[in-house]
Amino acid sequence: MNPPQLPQDADGVLRLAAQSMFEVFAQAVEGMMVVDRQHRIVWISDGYKRFLPALGFGHETEFVGRRVEEVVPNTLMAQVVDQGQPMLVDLLTNKAGTFLVSRLPLRDDRGEVIGAVGMVLLDHPETTLQPLIAKFNRLQQELDDTRRQLAAEQVKNRRPKYSIASFVGSSAPALEIKRQARRAALSDATVLLLGETGTGKELLAHAIHTASPRALKPLVSLNIAAVPETLLEAEFFGVAPGAYTGADRKGREGKFKLADGGTLFLDEIGDMPLPLQSKLLRVLQEQELEPLGSNTVIRVDVRVIAATSRDLPAMVARGEFRADLFYRLNVLPLRVPALRERLDDVEALAEALLEDIVRRAGMASRSLAPDALELLMRQDWPGNIRELRNVLEQACLMGDEMLLQAAQLAPYLKHAASAAPRLGGPAGGDRPTVLPTAEPRPDDPRLLRPLAEQIAELERAALRAALRATGGNKLAAAKLLRMSRASLYDKLPLLDQG
């Protein structure tokens, strides 16, 4: 038996039925809208127009053509378009009220989603759906409370770690930079921290934020040198939902948005790629940005603190850094002094660093002997405070001595050979003296002795000086002489021969 044949005008009947049902729904429901594939509103019914004033719009022309998620708070129409799944019954609450709504995807002849239709079935359904509304309101309140808690936790996690008091030092350069930091904290002007690596620029950025009126708002940090160039724009400005293949459908906020109301610390600003510098300049000037893949302008209120160890004026002269961005960043330049410029602070810094090192490692407290402090103060410290911490940390972790002597620190100092006490001199002297470095004259009687005797004499003097400097500690003496302990023991009989 052959199946019945559809009438030839079946498609026409279906189209008329769809049109008729659309018109019936438009008149029967409280309000109706249609959006396209890009979430833009393309049509609203006469009934829906009465909601426009409550949504903040005076006329239909201001509303139609906008993306639905931008003008209807809490709507899920965009989700229906993107996922192609209907939401037959749902409650929608926004500033216009609470509504019972239905949302359906619209498809073309090939089954592709081309948009969605949304219908307001009931306006203010509190009377007929009171139990359901009460439950919905309770769940909504719990959701709002959770969101507030999460937001508060995020702000807490982005609180500054340091204050101006955390910048250890009482030397003239240290007191001056702390005075400048306090003054910078009083304004919202952009701060540019200049100085060598390891001088404490990040600490000062935290300190300025802590002393500023923005202290209760987030402090967000971004090390530009640590982020791949291809990801920097997304890190700065965020990503709109579905901006590119693989992007999060919920989107992702950038560092500027996370720092809204607070401070954004941009470390290693000299490493910023040229193409991104113009976009950063616009945000600094206009305090507005567009997330990656979005046409929506977002206003932000962010105070920027930048830092670099590079010579920005020289980079500007070479065309590696935009001059206009440099002038925009260089509003309040603060030069952080190098450690060699404030050697009077080495003792206080070393004590503070040792406290932190032993606390983190769960070790007994350590302190510095006078000769160790003297050795530290004779260094140039090209790595500044970071290098000082590294030396102290290695000495603590590699030894058990409670009182750190110069001999324990010397092996970890790159320039210890030139800065440490020189070995040699009379055996009975109180301190090692400097060995003569000038080349002897050809008629010097010392050269008339056998070479082996001269070498043995120098070795005896070096051994005596090293043992004296380390208080008889043979292991420390071996380290000071850059030799193994076994080699030192092999040389000890020389002391009995001189």
Mean pLDDT along residues 373-400: 92
Mean pLDDT along residues 209-219: 92
Q: Report whether 268 contacts 307 (CB < 8 A).
A: yes
Higher pLDDT, 143 or 116: 116
> What is the pTM assigned to this prediction?
0.55
- Of 52, 90, 89, the residue nearest 71 (C-alpha): 52
Confidence of residue 421 (pLDDT cuts 50, 70, 90): very low
Distance CA(472)–CA(436), nearest Å, equals: 24
- Of 308, 309, 291, 292, the residue nearest 300 (C-alpha): 291
Instruction: Write down the CATH superfamily of domain 20-125.
Output: PAS domain (3.30.450.20)
Whether 440 has a pLDDT exceeding 70, the answer reads: no
Where would I find the beta strands (DSSP E) of 38-141? Answer: 41-44, 87-94, 97-107, 113-123
Both tokens of residue 426? 């009379």
The count of residues in the chain is 498
pLDDT for residue 9: 65
Specify the CATH architecture of the domain 164-337.
Answer: 3-Layer(aba) Sandwich (3.40)
Q: Show me where the domains of the chain are located.
A: 20-125, 164-337, 340-420, 427-498
Distance CA(208)–CA(221), nearest Å, equals: 13
Whether 426 has a pLDDT exceeding 60, the answer reads: no
Q: Which fold has domain 427-498?
A: Arc Repressor Mutant, subunit A (1.10.10)
As a whole number, the mean pLDDT across the chain is 83
Confidence of residue 173 (pLDDT cuts 50, 70, 90): very high
Whether 420 has a pLDDT exceeding 60, the answer reads: no
pLDDT tens figures, 195-204:
999 999 999 9
Mean pLDDT along residues 215-230: 90
Whether 127 has a pLDDT exceeding 70, the answer reads: no
Per-position DSSP letters for 251-262, written without gaps between them:
-B--HHHHTTTS
**254-to-96, 257, 315 alpha-carbon distances in Å:** 30, 5, 27
Confidence of residue 141 (pLDDT cuts 50, 70, 90): confident
Whether 264 has a pLDDT exceeding 70, the answer reads: yes
Please state the separation of Cα 104 from the chain's center in Å: 43
Secondary structure class of 89 (helix, strand, coil): strand
Confidence of residue 154 (pLDDT cuts 50, 70, 90): low
Backbone angles phi, psi at 191, to 5 degrees: -110, 135
Please state the separation of Cα 187 from the chain's center in Å: 22
pLDDT tens figures, 12-60:
676 777 777 778 777 878 899 999 999 999 999 988 998 898 888 988 9
According to DSSP, the residues that pair with 307 across neighbouring strands are 193
pLDDT tens figures, 269-291:
999 999 899 989 999 999 998 88
pLDDT tens figures, 289-309:
888 888 888 899 999 999 999
Per-position DSSP letters for 13-51, written without gaps between them:
HHHHHHHHHHHHHHHHSSEEEEEETTSBEEEE-TTGGGG
Whether 153 has a pLDDT exceeding 60, the answer reads: no
Distance CA(198)–CA(338), nearest Å, equals: 8
Whether 156 has a pLDDT exceeding 80, the answer reads: no
Confidence of residue 267 (pLDDT cuts 50, 70, 90): very high
Mean pLDDT along residues 145-167: 69
Q: Of the CATH numbers 2.40.50.140, 2.40.30.10, 2.60.40.3140, 1.10.8.60, which one belongs to the domain with range 340-420?
A: 1.10.8.60
Distance CA(486)–CA(414), nearest Å, equals: 24
